[in-house]
A and B are shown apart, each in its own frame.
Chain A
Amino acid sequence: MNASRNRISTQVVGALAALSLLAGAGGALAKDEVVMAVPTFLTGAGGAAFGIPGKNAVEIVVEAINAGTLPAPYNTKGFAGARVKAMIYDESGGNTKQVTEMRTRVQQDKVDLFAGFISSGTCSAVAPVAEELKVLTLLTVCGTPRVFEELDKDPKYVFRTLNTATASNVSLAHYVAQKMSKKNGYTGINQNYAWGQDSWRDFDLAMKVLAPHIKNTSTPQFPKLFSGQYGTEISALLRSPEEIVHASVWAGDLEALVLQGGARGLFQKKTFLFTVGDSGVYRLADKFPKGSLIGARGPYGIYAAPHLDGSPLNVWFQKTYRERFKEQPTQSAYQYAQGVLAAKYAYDKAMKANGGKFPSTDQVIAALKRAEFPTLSGTVKMAIGKGHQAITDDIWGGFIWDAKLNEPTVSDVIRFKAECVNPPDDVDSVEWIKGGMKGAKCS
């Protein structure tokens, strides 16, 4: 009994020692498989609007990467030649659970990198953990600038491959200043949680700088997240004098607001600015209020429809996605794909720098830091957050129904340069807006 227990523990210790040796030497060995964990909402309210499009995009992009069939410059096989194994899992269940998941997957499944995360709260929770575990993590959708401005100020392993949410509210304020300067004022309806509160704060601050003559007079509405019933809020908005309404609502809340507001003529009286309208516009189709502005957190989704962006990468993505899933890829499909392409770019570049040998994680990080690379739609520059936070162009336009294509599209589109709507490196987003957006390069 005792002897056998001793033997087992010796074996375990031996195996552990061997494993740790392997882990330590991992960088130097040739690798034939990279395990990429992809957290995304498979269940719950965020599933249909963000999670599932993200998952779909990762599936087709990883398949094409492994087959080497992506258009240039991504037309080589795998990440630095190694096959990519995408391990897609559910992001629901709260931050505690997601932190546990990250630790488990790094140690149990030997995950090489994470590419994903939609919820800002979860991004905030996992960023310090990723640093501790020394695992490369590309945040693909979440928007809060706090990740690098407050929680992970000196990032090494964590990157974010798209704009912060601040950028999209700043560019929205630019759009309003340029195209709607005759409007009499703005108010808002945003969900009562961090995303909604931050979105409103950024837009409100940006408006004070960019269009001080358009004012907010009535208190903005903050309905509870997923409350589903907007009757009273709609009455309050109908009674408020302002002509513009800022709304960062998404998923079921966005759709319920559009349906209930539509039935009461809300959208004839007000112009709505839907900061993530792209995530719902294809489903609501011609129910979506004409003329309201649609955001996609960058040049994604509706702004990358095949007739608007004809680059070979984008055309390949649109065609493959529509054929496979019988629907249009929306913003989060683009944002997840962008994260995967960022990884491929970094691995391939690091391999080249490493003399054609498979790179270590440190080399991949060095390759991604301050990098600039093409994605499905436009270019990503890892320019701020000490080279870990992406900046991209941002784009706004108004919704119209295209009867010829039989799908939604946009008109009066303005594209804003990345350097115009993002703060310079090492400047806090909110302080930057408050200070009058010094250093913005808009022309």
Chain B
Amino acid sequence: MQLAAVVLVDGLVYASYLFMVGVGLTVIFGVQRVLNVTHGAFFAFGAYMSATLIGLWYGADLPAFGGFLMILAAAVIVGVVLGVIIERGLLKFLYDRDEHIVVLATFAAFLVLEDVILLVWGHDPYYAFQPMQLLGSTRIAGLAFDNFNLSMIGISAALATGLWYALRRTTWGKMLRAVIFDREISRAMGINVTAVFLGTFIIGSMLAALGGAYLAPTISVQPGIGVEVIVLAFAVVVIGGMGSIPGALIGAIVVGISRAAAIHMLPQIELFVIYGIMAAVLIWRPEGLFAPVTARKI
């Protein structure tokens, strides 16, 4: 019984981590049909920016809870700046090109940004553990869990609800769905597709950066953190169905819980859990668990 509870909590924490890492990718793919490898670099930039801002904040001896504001600020700054640069400076020219070429272009941009991080922040790791220390820990099923990690569950739930609401219940969401369904007709109907694309890309980038920014306090921020994240994000998004937000959520939960169960009961298979589920889902339902339906052109 205790084991089940621990697996559930661990699984949900990891699922929230995966969701935060993957949701930005799925938003951008859903609207723009761009599989954005740069995502990993946005994540890393978010983490670096967050660690820098948190360091400055506590260095200046400002009120402790402001550290959380810095996390948010980091995500917004990185999302807006990099989002605009990549969308306006690169993707804009590629929307008519083959989808694989676009993936490759974002892969190239990712390589470039990885080295830019090195040029800006150098090799040394950055720490920003203060927000995590601040929150303390809670005992669940006899084990101590740190509240910072638990708070990720709340953040992910809020993100999922917020995005779902925005897409389903707002005018902006309707516009977005129209663009997803048919770009040309939307344009003819007077929707500013260029603005929708830019807006979506900025939001997707912010979400990617938020993943990095929020995790920064729990890790040592250093070169290479972006590469690891890309595969995870891909896996979550592919499992859930590319472009589907509920899919990403369910995908994250499936992987999170299975991984937690594996680690507690059969640690040897941890490495394969995520790829194994990915392969299994793809074999069974190649378009993912929640694939948006597409028309077959004759």
Give me the interface of A with B, judged by CB distance under 8 Å.
42-45, 47-48, 51-52, 192, 219-224, 226-229, 231-233, 235-236, 238-239, 251-252, 255-256, 259-260, 263-265, 283, 287
Contact = CB atoms under 8 A, between A and B. Distances in A.
A204 B214 CA distance: 37
B164 to A, nearest CB: 25
B66 interface: no
B137 interface: yes
B45 interface: no
A52 B223 CA distance: 13
B259 interface: yes
Interface residues of B, number: 44
B254 interface: no
Contacts of A222: 267-268, 270-271
B137 A263 contact: yes
B215 A238 contact: no
Interface stretch (B99-107, B123-131, B193-201, B290-298): B123-131
Contacts of A44: 223-224
A171 B268 CA distance: 27
A283 B222 CA distance: 13
A260 B218 contact: yes
Interface stretch (B26-34, B138-146, B155-163, B239-247): B138-146
B228 A264 contact: no
A232 B260 CA distance: 6
A239 B6 contact: yes
Contacts, number: 126
10 contacts: A43-B123, A222-B271, A224-B270, A232-B259, A236-B263, A236-B264, A255-B127, A259-B219, A263-B132, A263-B149
A264 B220 contact: no
Contacts of B266: 219
A287 B133 CA distance: 11
B224 to A, nearest CB: 4
B263 A232 contact: yes
A424 to B, nearest CB: 34
A256 B219 contact: yes
Contacts of B215: 228-229
B73 interface: no
Given A52-B123, A232-B264, A256-B219, A226 B144 contact: no
Interface string B254-280: 000001100110111011000000000
Contacts of B228: 226-228
B219 A228 contact: yes
A264 B263 contact: no
Given A224-B270, A226-B225, A255 B219 contact: yes
Nearest to A192: B271
Interface in B1-29: 2-3, 6, 9-11, 13-14, 17
Nearest to A220: B267
A231 B267 contact: no
B36 to A, nearest CB: 21
Contacts of A48: 123-125, 222-223
- Among B9, B115, B127, which residue has the most Cβ atoms of chain A within 10 A? B127
Contacts of B3: 239
A252 B264 contact: no
Given A221-B267, A239-B2, 16 more contacts: A44-B223, A48-B124, A222-B271, A226-B224, A226-B225, A228-B215, A229-B17, A232-B10, A232-B11, A232-B259, A235-B9, A256-B219, A259-B127, A259-B218, A263-B133, A283-B127
B15 to A, nearest CB: 11
Nearest to A254: B220
A221 B270 CA distance: 9
A231 B10 CA distance: 7
B57 interface: no
Contact of B143 (A221, A233, A235): A235
Contacts of B218: 229, 256, 259-260, 263
A245 to B, nearest CB: 13
